[in-house]
A and B are shown apart, each in its own frame.
Chain A
Amino acid sequence: MIRITTNGTLRGYQTNLNRSSVNLSQTRDKVLTQRNFNSYAEDPAAATQAFKLRRSFSRTSDQLSNTQSVTKKFESAWDAINTVKSNLTEKTAKVSALSGINGSTGTGRQPLGKVLAAAADSVVQTMNSQYGTSFIFAGNDALSGAPFAWNTDGDLTYRGIAVDSASAADQQKLQTMSAETSYVDIGSGLSEQNGEVLNASAFNAAISGLQYLGYGTDADGDPKNAASLMKELSDIFTRCDADTGAYANATDEKDANRLCKKLQGTLDNMTNEWSTLSGKASYLTGTEDRLTNMVDDLNNQILQVEQVDLASAITDFSWAQYCYNAALKVGNSILSQSLIDYMN
């Protein structure tokens, strides 16, 4: 039988009391910090998981803020195109043009010409709207300056190139410009292949005004651009007789009729593109909702991994406290008596 010595008993008590105290301290920490683990070593797997979730949370929050920003830009774009399409082109320019080619109202051709010229200017100004510091319709060169301008010859230019230019090189450039990209990470799984971002993994936030107004010339040599068409019609009407409203020549009349039809064509194109823009804007709104939900979900997951179940933490703490108190109580009587106390 093993001898239990006085100091052996004391040392054993000390060790156990210390263990009990450590246990109490750990359970107390859990209640106070409300965290399941307070060091990486306590639960390496959960800590790694928590960091991973927090990283996703951070990235998703970034993507949400990107989406919100792009959504606002697209909403501004939508408003601008709506103005151009409805107010300027449909209600003002189209009505003026139709009035102009209609013989019964032909006497007012000159003023109508002015209205058309003003409408063309307004279209250009609207298409030069800014969102923050960037020009909404300037493709991916939105921080350099207004994209649309009338050059000294009275031709409309987009970032320095005449939009109605018939030259193949210019056409090529305009085509490239109309398809420019400026990708933004909106949580579609941003990924690259050979250093190039995969189209489907990010959202193209570049909007080119060329797509909405049109560019280049058609088979008749007429501009495809709405503002240029308005301007040409305006020129024809302005050349008309101020009193009678008679066309300056027969060609003008023919041209006016043709251009008026084509203006209707550009309006159709604008409506189509405007619908596409609406689609994109609603996709962005949907993405915003999805990301908001995801942020909430991630937050919940983080809490699940990190946050302690208070009921069980408090129970554990109470139990540890009870054990510690019991250990202290035992300590009080651990060495109270020995044979020496009974010797006479």
Chain B
Amino acid sequence: MRGVTTFGAFTTARLGIYAAQKGLDVAGHNIANINTEGYTRQSLQQVSLRTGNKDMYTSIYDAGTGSGSLVTGISQLRDPFLDIRFRTEQASVGSLNVRLSGLNELSGILDEVGANNGDGILEAQFNDLVKQLQNLNTEHATENEYDSLVRSSADSLTRLFNNYAERLEKVAQNESESFKQDISNVNDILKNLQSLNDNIMSSEIHGDSALEMKDQRNLLLDQLSSYMKINVTYQPVSIGAGAKVDKLVIKTASNTPRLLVDGGYATQMSLRENTPQLNPDYTGAPGSQKYLDAAGHPTDDVTSAAMMADTNYDLDLTALQNSAGKTLTGSEAVALSDTELYGGLQSSREMLTEKGEFTTAGELMSDANAASKRGIPYYQNAMDALARKFATVLNEANTGYLKDSGGFYLYKNGAGELTRLTKVDGSALALEDMSEAQKATLLHTGKSGVLFSNGRDNLYQSGDADYNAKITQGITAANLTVSKLWNTGAVRIQNSYVQGAEKGEAVNSSDNSNILHIIALMDSKQAYKPSDTITGKVSEDDPFFEGSFQQMLNGMQATLAQDVKSTKTLLNNFTASASELNTSRDSVSGVDLNDEAMSMMTYQKSYAAACRLMTTLDEALNTLINNTGIVGR
């Protein structure tokens, strides 16, 4: 007979005790880590041990038994498919989360619902301006104190514009800081992954499964996935002697996958400092050239293009390096294109750069959907467009020329007499039909002039050539101000341009035709075009909005509100879905107290049973040794 040894069964009992002990240890470890973030439930791997083989002389009646149980290792319970699905959702959650927080910051400024007892802030100031104009118009056309009231109201309005612009700029700065912080976080994650990969691989080579480090790595991968959509693969690598270990490879999940981590090699991300100057008029049509050289001439040669500071928050990836600074063979630095990433980082970039309808044709070439994406610059541009339109329209209305009661523009002839400007047939000559020379002869009356300026009034003298053009050029929400001329009383709201009877170049004191015109302008439809505020060829120069000043403001607020609403809904959906997937992941990988209680009971019983086996064997051997063959002694 083969394999029958007297004390063999003691080994079986010992192995049983050992396995049960290990099982209790694992249950204890699981219970201890129930609240450890990222911890994956561990389980004991056991195999049944059987030694010896049958040989040719073995009796067919010999029944072979096993020799107990062996603990072969401790493993994690994880479903890789759930990981992939969770991380994909996580990229969307991250993307929408960042977007929503950016939009909420903007809403904090532009959303006037409920403010000021429901009347709004900028909105209410527009109403107040109309009210003051109406007061001036009704019976007080040339009374200075009423003009001052209009001016005070206009001054408050310009200050609100300035304040909104300043706060929008602050939001942009905060978003920029947070974007830079995110890049630094991503770089930290990539570095940590690199070092964990090194450690895991070296542990695995030495036979340790490095489960805790893998948990840490999975946690980092989850974090990374909220910044950008990634593809994670494990590739077996031979370590000699037929043994293999898994190498972690992370790539961006885009049409052109970029390697982020390859085992012990990892890339680092950085903001691009300089970029070739794009030709704002570039359309992509044949003959249209993409860049501008130093002299401002279009060129298609990127090397001769002028370099300028990158304001598009473009990202670069360095070549992959290991911890010793050695570059991975074949790896090179990569300049990421405008739309390669998806996730929190990209959303942050889009908040910082997207201009919606203010996108130039050149910018549209790098992102075909740019015209429908609206970030902080869109709202800044829209506020600028509103401020500029408001200032331009009112300035224009307040800088007309003297006419007579018949509607004819007047000029002074050689003898200094006021004379009508007429067409050949004697009818009135319209302003748009006049030559520049004719326009130069027209007469200003009363205190007409520029009401709003770009705040540079102090840099020039009112007698300077093109003074009006200089102080009104490039008005934005940030610099809009009541002109110095109006502030000092040199200019007032011009009540009329119609020459009064017996008044020479002056107008009648209570003729309010121009004030009423300004009141009508406050509610009249204006067309807002992208080209009003931006330089360079725009994708579409149709008006993106037509309506009064206040309607434009409401339109802007409604666009933002709609964006917040839809982003919130999407975020809720993705969060619910990610949370469900996380629960599913947890149902595989999480620790459950009932499970562990079951394990404890199972292993405790098997421990007791193995001990009992030993006692039984002891008793059996005691019988054999001490009580066998003693009959008759």
Alpha-carbon distance A171/B147, docked complex (angstroms): 34
Fill in one digit per residue for B594-609: 1 if any A CB lies within 8 Å of its CB, else 0.
1111101100000000
Contact of B517 among A52, A73, A140, A197 (CB under 8 A): A197
Alpha-carbon distance A142/B131, docked complex (angstroms): 22
Q: Among the listed stretches A184-192, A213-221, A235-243, A260-268, which one makes contact with chain B, having 4 or more residues with CB under 8 Å of it?
A: A184-192
B119 contacts chain A at the CB level, 8 A cutoff: yes
A206 contacts chain B at the CB level, 8 A cutoff: yes
Q: Among the listed stretches A63-71, A95-103, A223-231, A251-259, which one makes contact with chain B, having 4 or more residues with CB under 8 Å of it?
A: A63-71
B502 contacts chain A at the CB level, 8 A cutoff: yes
Cβ–Cβ contact B565 & A44, under 8 A? yes
B593 contacts chain A at the CB level, 8 A cutoff: yes
What is the distance, in angstroms, from A52's C-beta to the closest C-beta of chain B?
A: 7
Cβ–Cβ contact A51 & B512, under 8 A? no
Contact of B114 among A33, A55, A191, A197 (CB under 8 A): A33
A50 contacts chain B at the CB level, 8 A cutoff: yes
Contact of A141 among B137, B138, B500 (CB under 8 A): B500
User: Which residue of chain B is the closest to A11 with respect to CB atoms?
Assistant: B583
B592 contacts chain A at the CB level, 8 A cutoff: yes
Alpha-carbon distance A38/B118, docked complex (angstroms): 10
Q: Among the listed stretches B194-202, B308-316, B553-561, which one makes contact with chain A, having 4 or more residues with CB under 8 Å of it?
A: B553-561
Cβ–Cβ contact A161 & B502, under 8 A? yes
Q: Among the listed stretches B203-211, B291-299, B519-527, which one makes contact with chain A, having 4 or more residues with CB under 8 Å of it?
A: B519-527
Alpha-carbon distance A301/B162, docked complex (angstroms): 33
Alpha-carbon distance A73/B120, docked complex (angstroms): 34
Cβ–Cβ contact A3 & B592, under 8 A? yes
Contact of A182 among B120, B512, B517, B601 (CB under 8 A): B512
For residue A338, which residues in chain B have a CB less than 8 angstroms away from its CB?
593-594, 597
User: Which residue of chain B is the closest to A202 with respect to CB atoms?
Assistant: B516
A25 contacts chain B at the CB level, 8 A cutoff: no
Q: Among the listed stretches A81-89, A111-119, A127-135, A308-316, which one makes contact with chain B, having 4 or more residues with CB under 8 Å of it?
A: A127-135
List residues 516-552 of chain B with CB under 8 A from any CB of chain A.
Answer: 516-517, 519-520, 523-524, 550
A200 contacts chain B at the CB level, 8 A cutoff: no
What is the distance, in angstroms, from B613's C-beta to the closest C-beta of chain A?
A: 23
Interface centre among A37, A55, A134 (most CB of B within 10 A): A55
Number of interface residues of A (CB under 8 A): 73
Cβ–Cβ contact A8 & B590, under 8 A? yes
For residue A50, which residues in chain B have a CB less than 8 angstroms away from its CB?
113, 118
What is the distance, in angstroms, from A65's C-beta to the closest C-beta of chain B?
A: 7
Alpha-carbon distance A250/B139, docked complex (angstroms): 50
With A7-B590, A70-B138 as given contacts, are A190 and B509 in contact (CB-CB < 8 Å)?
no
Cβ–Cβ contact A190 & B142, under 8 A? no
B419 contacts chain A at the CB level, 8 A cutoff: no
Alpha-carbon distance A42/B595, docked complex (angstroms): 45
What is the distance, in angstroms, from A161's C-beta to the closest C-beta of chain B?
A: 6
What is the distance, in angstroms, from A128's C-beta to the closest C-beta of chain B?
A: 15
Binding site for B on A (CB under 8 A): 2-8, 11-12, 15, 33, 35, 37-42, 44, 47-48, 50-52, 54-55, 58-59, 61-63, 65-66, 69-70, 73, 131-134, 138-144, 159-161, 173, 176-177, 180-185, 190-192, 195, 197, 202, 205-206, 302, 306, 338-340, 343
- A40-B113, A183-B516, A340-B600 given. 8 additional CB < 8 A pairs? A40-B107, A40-B558, A44-B558, A141-B510, A176-B501, A180-B511, A181-B513, A338-B594
